Amino acid sequence: MEQAADLAAVTILAVLEQAYFFQWVIYARRKYSVAPPSTSGPAAFERVFRAQANCSEYFPIFIAVLWVAGLFFHHGLSCFCGLLYLYGRYRYFKAYTQTPLGRLAPLYFSAVFLWALIGLSLLGVLCCLVRSHLGIDLAVLVASYLRADPMEPNNEL
C-alpha cells in the first residue's frame, strides 16, 4: 500500500494543480469580462485560457504513465519524476500567462519527465510480460550482467 499511497499523493497534488489552473481561468474571465462559453478575448485572457487547456490536455497521459511506471517499474522514481513534471507544468502555466515564448523552457523541462515516465512505463510492463510469459527476469539478468567481471573467462550470464 505504501507505493500506492505515494502515487496517490502525487495524483492528488496533480488534481489540485489542475484546480488551481481552472481557478485562474475563472479569475481571468471575470477580470477581462469574457463570459462562457467564449474562448476569445484580450490576449492576456487567451494566454491564461490556452495555458490551462494545454495542461489539461496532457493530464490524462501524465496520470496514466505515473501509475503504470509506479506499479510496474519503481514507485519512488515515478513519484520523483511526477513531482518534477508537476513543477515544470506549474512553471509552464505561469510563464505562458506572461508571454507565449516564456513557456518554452518549462515546456521542455516537463516534457523530459513525461517522456521519462513513458519510458519507465514501457520498461516496467515489458519486464513484467517477459517474466510472466517467458520466465526470464530481465532485472536480474541485467543486474548479473552489470556485476559480471569482464576479465573472468568463465563468466556465464
Is the Cβ–Cβ distance between 123 and 81 less than 8 Å? no
Catalytic-labelled residue, pool 29, 30, 50, 91 = 30
Q: Quick one: three-class SS letters along 22-63?
A: HHHHHHHHHHHCCCCCCCCCCHHHHHHHHHHHHHHHHHHHHH
The answer to whether residue 103 is catalytic is yes
118's grid cell: 513513458
Tell me the torsion sign for CA atoms 11, 45, 49, 79. negative
The answer to whether residue 30 is catalytic is yes
Catalytic-labelled residue, pool 29, 47, 89, 103 = 103
DSSP helix/strand/coil, 14: helix
CA contacts within 13 A on the Cβ side of 29: 14
Distance, CA of 98 to chain centre: 23
Q: State the catalytic residues.
A: 30, 103
